[in-house]
Each structure stands twice: as C-alpha cells, then as structure tokens.
Amino acid sequence: MLPNREGQRVPNVTFRTRQGAEWVNRTSDEIFKGRTVVVFSLPGAFTPTCSSAHVPRYNQLAPVFRQHGVDEIVCVSVNDAFVMNEWQESQNCHDVTFLPDGNGEFTAGMGLLVDKADLGFGKRSWRYSMLVKDGVIVKEFIEPEEPGDPFVNSDADTMLKYLAPQAKAPADVTIFTRKGCPHCSRAKAALAQAGYAYEELVLNRDYTDRTLRAVTRAKTFPQVYIDGEHIGGADELEAWLKKRTAP
C-alpha cells in the first residue's frame, strides 16, 4: 500500500533547477518553510494526462488558490531541469512552479517512487497532490493503486474543494473571433471589464469557418461560450452580462 504521510514533514532535499543559463538550487526549506504550498506530482513531463488535464487546471485555478492563502503551486516530476523548463514553456503555464526531481529523491522520500519499467519510464512518481503548511503535510490525495495511470482525486478542483469548500472556480470562457472584427474587440473588452478570463480562438489560425458552423451554426463573429452555454455575439454577451450585474 502506498504510504500517506499526512502530519509528517516533507522530505528535505535540494532541487536542481535551471534559470536561464545558470543552475539554481532550491531547497525544501526555501520552498516550504513558513509558507502554504500546494504540490502535485505526476509520472512524467509531456505525457498525455499530465499535459491535457493535470497541469492546465492547476494553472487555471492558481489565482483562486492564491485568494485562499496559497503562496505557491508546485509541480514535481522525476525529470531533469531542461525537460521541466521546456514542458512549462510548451504548456504556457507560468502560474505553477515546475520542480525537477531528476534523481527521484523527493519522490522516494514521499514513499511514492514506483517502477514503470513496463512503459520504458524506469522509476517515476505515482500521481498525487498535497497541501503543505510550514513544511508539514496537512492533506494528501494519492491516486488509487490501480493498473495504468489513474487520475481521480489529485486534480486541482478536488484540492480547491478541500482548501476552500465555498470557493467558486472561474467560468470557462471561449470566444471565436477573426482579425479586424470590431464586434470581437467589443466582446473581449466586455469580458475583461466583467472580470472573465477567456480563451480566444482566431479564424484561420486556430480554426476555419467550417469549425465555426459545425460548433455554433453561426456565420458571424464573435461567438462566445461560457461554461458550455452558447451566448452568441457581442450584443448577446452584453445583455447576458447585464443580467448578472442587475440588482
């Protein structure tokens, strides 16, 4: 059975990170002492679940975690500093600190270094997350010991629900736009003013008009989606926002 270390101190190790062209050591004390830190650890950089779900959601929720007293969100993987830096850049994930545990010392100290030789990975981390306060593990979510790579409880939403049960995650907003569209600019400004972070998809860069028709059945720009709901264009968005701010 994989050990749960709640109530114990995190392993005392030195992480060899790379900043620019320089090696920079970060110790466990530097990261955890006197601070509240959320850590999530995963089997490997650039792997499917890690890149598509685990890392992005922690990055998206980082502002909410900070609002509730978290000083830093840390991603740990048994990879070297060069790989971790490249992965962070490719993910455009700069609200999370990527720490290379290249020798597996931190992961072994957690009791969660496992053998993935069957995949050609060698020794890697089991997937888990934890809340650490002043170097002491307050809560740990360890994925169940099942075949493959389970991902059911170390996710960012589970951690946020534990940390702040009443916290509301930010809305998921996507806007389909095209270059030079004044209504698109108006919609983006309205979203920004209302405090909605959004992902912008630009015509002929991220999609074609075929995709717009397939998804929205519309031919005009922009087209806005919020939490799965098709809001419509700039006029519809402004009306939707007005309803939510009306007394």
Active site residues: 50
Strands across the sheet with 199-202, in order? 199-202, 173-177, 223-226, 229-232
d(CA 212, CA 217): 7
Cross-strand bridge partners of residue 99 = 76
Secondary structure E strands in 109-192: 113-115, 123-125, 128-133, 136-142, 173-177
Close Cβ partners of 192 (under 8 Å, ≥ 6 residues apart): none
Helix/strand/coil for 34: coil
d(CA 38, CA 165): 16
d(CA 100, CA 79): 5
245 torsion bin: left (phi>0), alpha (psi -120 to 50), beta (else): alpha
